[in-house]
Amino acid sequence: MLNKEALKDTMKKIIKIDYGKTLEKAKDHEKYVALSKSIMEQIVDRWIGTKETYEESKEAYYLSAEFLMGRALGNNLINLGIYEDVKELLNEMNIDINKVEEIEEDAGLGNGGLGRLAACFMDSAATCDVPLTGYGIRYSHGIFRQKIVDGFQVEKGDNWLKYGDPWSIRREENTVLVRFADQIVKAIPYDTPVIGYGTNNINTLRLWQCEPLVDFDFELFNEQKYDEAVRGKNKAQDISRVLYPNDSNDDGKILRLKQQYFFVSASLQDLIRKHKSLNRDLLDFAKYNSVQLNDTHPTVAIPEMMRLLVDDEELSWEDAWEVTRKTFAYTNHTILSEALEKWWNGYFKRILPRIYEIIEKIDEEFIRELKAKNYEKEKIAEMRIVRDDMIRMAHLAIHGTYATNGVAQLHTDILKETELNDWYKLYPERFQNKTNGITPRRWIRLCNKELSSLITELLGTEEWVKNLDLLKNLEKYANDEELLERFLSIKDEKKRELASYIKKNEGIEVDDKSIFDIQIKRLHEYKRQLLKAFYILDLYYRLKENPTMDINPRTFIFGAKAAPGYFRAKGIIKFINEIANLVNNDKEVNEKIKIIFVQNYRVSYAEKLFPAADVSEQISTAGKEASGTGNMKFMLNGTPTLGTYDGANVEIVAEAGEENNFIFGLRVEDIKEMKDSYDPKKYYEEIPALRRVVDTLIDGTFSDGGTGMFYELYTSLLEGASWHTADNYFIFADFNMYKDAQDEVDNAYKDRLEWAKKCWLNMANAGKFSSDRTILQYANEIWSVDQNPIK
C-alpha cells in the first residue's frame, strides 16, 4: 500500500533540500526527480533484502554492451502496483503525471533490439524472482540524438543525464581498476533497481562509469598547460562517453575495444571479489555463478577470466580453463557473416598484450583438441580462433563457453545447419534455442492502458500481466462484433494520440483515419527499409497516373537510426526523406498517402507507435533477421504482420495463423537455391515499375546534396561492392511479391470487422512471446538457477 502522505512529505523535503524552493515553485524536471527519489526511498529495504537472499544460492549475470531501458518512472509505478494511487496523489497536488513522465529522458544506454532485449530480460527476471544481475557501461551520451536536417541524419550529443539520474546509486566502495597497456582507469559502479511486477524482488543493473586515477594535473595547469592538465581525465571519460563510437579509423576501433574490455574486466573483478567475500573456493566459482555473454561484444571476458584466475589468483591453467568454460554461456544474435565480430590482433597486441597471449594459447590448445579428433588441416584452419592476424570472437565465444543459443527457432536451425555447422558437429550438446520475448509490463500494460483494462475486464484478473498465456482465453471473443467495435475504438484512440504526438514533434499533420503502416527498427540494409521506400514511390507514380485508384488512405511511418559511420544506411534515410518531400507536398496524392520519418526513434516514442499501428512491417531478407522483438510488440498490441518468413515471424504466424498475417517473398530455401545464379539486372530490366523507381537514384529526380550517396546505392544494387554481390538482400526479387502483399493488406482493411478479427487473434496468441517465458528457459536450461522470491 502506498503511504500518500509520506510520499508527499518526502517530495517536499527533496525539493527543499536539492533545489531550495517549495513544491509549488518547482519545475517539472524537479518534480520528476523528487517523485523518483521518494519512490526510491520506499523500495531500498526490499532491494537490500533481495541482494541478501540471492547471495545464499547460485546467481546469473548478464553481460551486455547495451541496456535500452526506456523511461523508468511510469514502468516502476506500474510494477509496484501504485500508478493510479500516485496519479491521484499528484492530481491532489495539482501536478499532471503525464507532464512529469514526459520530462524524463530516455536513458542513453542502448540502440537496437539487442539492448531492448536485455532490458526486457531484466524486467522479467525481477518479475519471475530469478537472481539475475545486469552488467554494462554507463554511457554519458548514449549513441546520439538524431535530427533530420534537409533529409539527412545529423547526430547530436544525447546528454540524458542533464537532470541527474535519480534511479541510480553510485557505489564508490566497489570501485575497481582496469589496466590497458597505455592507461589505467577506475571503473565506478552505478546500481539501478529493476523492480519486479507483483513481487517483492528487486534486481540490480550495475553499470560502470570510467574515470581517471587523477582528475587534474595541478603541476601542468600551473605551468599553463591547461589542455594537458585534463587530458588524462578526458581520455578516461571517453571510454564510457558514447555507445558504439564511430570506428571507421584506428582510434575509433581502439576505443571500442577498450570499452569492451573495460566493462567485462570490471564486472569479472566484481564477481570474483564477491565470491571470495562469501568465503567460497574459486574452484567452485561456476557452482555459484553463471555469466551470459549477450552477443560477441563481451567475449573478451573469456581470456580476461583466465588472466584473473591464472595471474591474480594463481590457479593452474587447467583449473582456470575448467572454471571459465563452466561459467560462461553465449547468445548469438546474428546470421550475417560481416556482423560476426573479428578483431585485428595488432590492436590487442598494442592495448591488451597479456590478453592476446592468452587468446593465442587458447587457440593453440583448441588446435590440439581438433587434431586429437582427427580433423583435417583445412578444417582446422577454418575453425581456428586466430587466423590471418584476425581474432574471431564468435569462435572464441563458442569454444570458451558451455552453451550457445540462437534467439528464434529458424535462426538456431540456420546456425546449426549452415553458418555454425562445423561448431554444431563439434559441440552438439551446447547448442540450444531460446526464442526472444518482450515484457508485457512496458509493451502493453504501460503503453496501452486502455487495451490492458479491456483484457483485464474480459479475463476477470490482472494475472495475465505475469502469465501472458492467459491471453489465449480471449480467442473465443473473435466473432463478438460488439467487442470488436470496442477494440477498434481503442485502436482509434491510440492513433489519435500518435497523430497528435507526431504533429507536436515532427510538425506534420497526419490523418488518424488512414492505415498506419509502420516500420521502426535500426537502419540496416538487410532490414530493407529501401524495399518499402521503392514500394511507396511506385505507389506514388501509380496514383499520379490514376488519381481515382481505389485505395485506403495510408500513412507510412519510419523510425530508425543509422550508425554514424554507415554511409549507405544514411543514404537510405536521405532517400526516404526525399520521397517524403515529394509525396507530402503533392496535393494530388497527399490525402491518400503520406510519409513520416520520426526523428530520434527511441523507447518512449516506440511506446506511442506500437499501440497505434495497423500494419507491422517486418520485411527483412529471409534468413537474415535472427529474431526481432518489434514484431512481438506489434502483435501484442493487436497488429498483423506484413513480413517475410524470417526470424520470429515464423513463430508468430505459427501461433496466430498465416491467414491473420501477410507473409510474402523468398524463403530461406529459395534464396539458398538461387543465390549463386541470382542476377538482379534481370528483374530490373523485366519489371518497368521497379526500374522506374530505382532509376530515381541517378536520374536527377532526387538530390543527395552532392554526397554521392544515391549513386553508390544504385551501383550496390546493380553492380555490387567489394564486400558483397549485387542486390545482396534480394530487394529486386521480392519487389513484386511485396506489392501483391500490400494489395492484400489494402483489400483486407476494407472489411473493418474482419480486419479487427485478425488483429484480435494476433493479440490473443501473443502469449508465447513473453520474455518471462524466455528468461525462465534461460534460468532452467542454461544457467541452472532457481527462482528465489524474497519474503
Secondary structure class of 2 (helix, strand, coil): coil
Residue 224 CB partners (closer than 8 Å, separation 6+): none
544 is catalytic: no
Residues 359/303, Cβ–Cβ less than 8 Å: yes
Q: What share of the chain is helix, strand, coil (3-state, %, to 5)?
A: 55, 15, 30
User: CB burial class (10 A; 0-12, 13-18, 19+) of residue 659?
Assistant: exposed
Q: Which of 304, 106, 71 is nearest to 187 (CA)?
A: 304
Residues 232/212, Cβ–Cβ less than 8 Å: yes
521 is catalytic: yes
Residues 150/144, Cβ–Cβ less than 8 Å: no
Residue 327 CB partners (closer than 8 Å, separation 6+): 285, 286, 289, 290, 291, 305
φ, ψ dihedrals at 192, nearest 5°: -120, 130
621 is catalytic: no
User: Which is the catalytic residue, given 133, 199, 334, 629?
Assistant: 629
682 is catalytic: no
Residue 12 CB partners (closer than 8 Å, separation 6+): 22, 23, 34
User: Which is the catalytic residue, given 145, 399, 527, 574?
Assistant: 527
Query: For residue 107, what is the DSSP state?
Result: P
**Residue 679 grid coordinates:** 542476377
User: Which is the catalytic residue, given 395, 399, 522, 768?
Assistant: 522
User: Which is the catalytic residue, given 256, 384, 466, 521?
Assistant: 521
CA 126 vs. chain centroid, Å, equals 19
Looking at the DSSP bridge assignments, the partners of residue 598 are 559
Looking at the DSSP bridge assignments, the partners of residue 205 are 134, 192
434 is catalytic: no
Looking at the DSSP bridge assignments, the partners of residue 724 are 721
CB atoms within 10 A of CB 242: 23
349 is catalytic: no
Q: How would you write 410-452 as a 3-class SS string? A: HHHHHHHHHHCHHHHHHCHHHEEECCCCECHHHHHHHCCHHHH
DSSP 214-250: SS--HHHHHTT-HHHHTHHHHHHHGGGT-SS---SSH
Alpha helices in 546-648 (DSSP H): 567-584, 603-612, 630-636
Cα-Cα-Cα-Cα dihedral sign, residues 359, 364, 368, 374: positive
User: Which is the catalytic residue, given 392, 633, 758, 768?
Assistant: 633
> CB pairs under 8 A, 24+ apart, for 315-322?
315/282, 315/283, 317/361, 319/283, 321/365
User: Which is the catalytic residue, given 333, 399, 574, 757?
Assistant: 333
* Catalytic residue numbers, as ranges: 333, 521-522, 527, 629, 633
